[in-house]
Structures are given as C-alpha cells and as structure tokens.
C-alpha cells in the first residue's frame, strides 16, 4: 500500500484493490493455510501407511516405513509452516509467474524426454533452456555449463554410484 501524501481514503476502490484478500473469513494467511493442508495430507499418508502397509523391523524395513517416515517429515514441515507462517501477503508479479511456469515446463519436458533422449541429452537441453531462456545468461557460458553439468552428473550417477541411466537413441 502507498505511503505518504496524499493518503488514499480507506473506502475507495483503489485502497480496497491494494489490500490483500484474506484466504478465509477468519483471516488465515496463505502460509498458514498451506501449512495446515500439508499437515492434513501428511496425516492421511501416515494413516494409510500404518493401516495398510507392513512396517517391518529396523533391520529390514517394510513397505510402509518410507511412506510413514515421509509423512511424519511432511507433517512436521507443515506444522512448522502453519506456526511460523503469516505476515503480509506479497503478490507475485506476472514476470515471476512466467518464470515459474517455464521452470515447470522444463521439468515436465525432462520427465517426458528422459527415456527417449537419454539422461545426458535431456539434462543438457533442460539446463540450456533454463540458463538461456529463463536466466538470460550469455550463450557460450550457458552451453558450456549445460554440457559440463549433464556429463558430470551422468558420470557421478552412472560410474560412481552405479545407477542405471538411459543412454538414449544414439547410445549417448
């Protein structure tokens, strides 16, 4: 909201448009509402894991151990967000929303092209897009970093960690 002189009238349309809307009639902020939703989702995940999946033991965890652990972690973060959340509503401008959609589109492309193009080509294309189109970096450094990061991460996962990654149609 603007500060200084002239001060807008509290009843004017301009003043009301500058004020953020409440998420609920009780005045719950978006952070607190999101934290409560995450905590409720986590409680559901933990309840399903406890009711329907075997837990196993500490030495040999069962199929329900990971969902239960992740549900507890998510619930803790959700409650922390609900407890600490609040503050002023900060609207995101359209440029930031466009950047978020571009990053989401790049992640979707990577998920869909991973098997078809292979790890190295998919990661190089995604990183090049993110560095060139989203971050607006110079062309040569962006392409060099894309190649270096895709090849380096492939080497780390494939050779050092022995994770089987798709090679793509060209064996690359």
Task: Say how far apart CA 121 and CA 123 lie, in whole Å.
Answer: 6
Q: Please give the pLDDT value at position 90.
A: 58
Q: What is the pLDDT of residues 95-107, one digit of tens each?
A: 677 888 999 999 9
Q: Please give the pLDDT value at position 23.
A: 45
Q: Please give the pLDDT value at position 26.
A: 53
Q: Please give the pLDDT value at position 131.
A: 97
Residue ranges of the chain with per-residue pLDDT less than 70? 1-28, 86-95
DSSP string spanning 19-61? Answer: SPPPSSTT---HHHHHHHHHHHHHHHHHHHHHHHS--B-SSSB
Q: Please give the pLDDT value at position 97.
A: 78
Task: Say how far apart CA 32 and CA 9 lie, in whole Å.
Answer: 30
Task: Say how far apart CA 78 and CA 34 lie, in whole Å.
Answer: 7
Q: Please give the pLDDT value at position 168.
A: 86
Longest Cα pair distance anywhere in the chain, in angstroms? 70
Q: Please give the pLDDT value at position 17.
A: 55
Q: Please give the pLDDT value at position 24.
A: 46
Q: What is the pLDDT of residues 7-34, one digit of tens each?
A: 555 555 555 555 555 444 555 677 888 8
């Amino acid at each position: 909201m603007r500060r200084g002189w002239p001060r807008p009238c509290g009843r004017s349309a301009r003043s009301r448009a500058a004020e953020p809307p409440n998420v609920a009639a009780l005045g719950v902020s978006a952070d607190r509402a999101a934290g409560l939703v995450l905590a409720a989702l986590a409680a559901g995940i933990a309840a399903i894991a406890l009711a329907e999946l075997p837990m196993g033991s500490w030495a040999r965890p069962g199929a329900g151990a990971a969902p239960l652990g992740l549900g507890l972690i998510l619930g803790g973060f959700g409650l922390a967000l609900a407890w600490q959340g609040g503050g002023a509503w900060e609207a995101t401008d359209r440029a930031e929303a466009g950047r978020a959609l571009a990053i989401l589109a790049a992640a979707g492309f990577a998920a869909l092209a991973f098997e078809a193009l292979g790890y190295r080509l998919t990661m190089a294309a995604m990183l090049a897009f993110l560095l060139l189109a989203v971050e607006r970096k110079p062309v040569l450094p962006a392409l060099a970093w894309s190649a270096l990061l895709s090849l380096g991460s492939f080497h780390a996962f494939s050779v050092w960690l022995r994770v089987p990654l798709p090679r793509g149609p060209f064996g690359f």
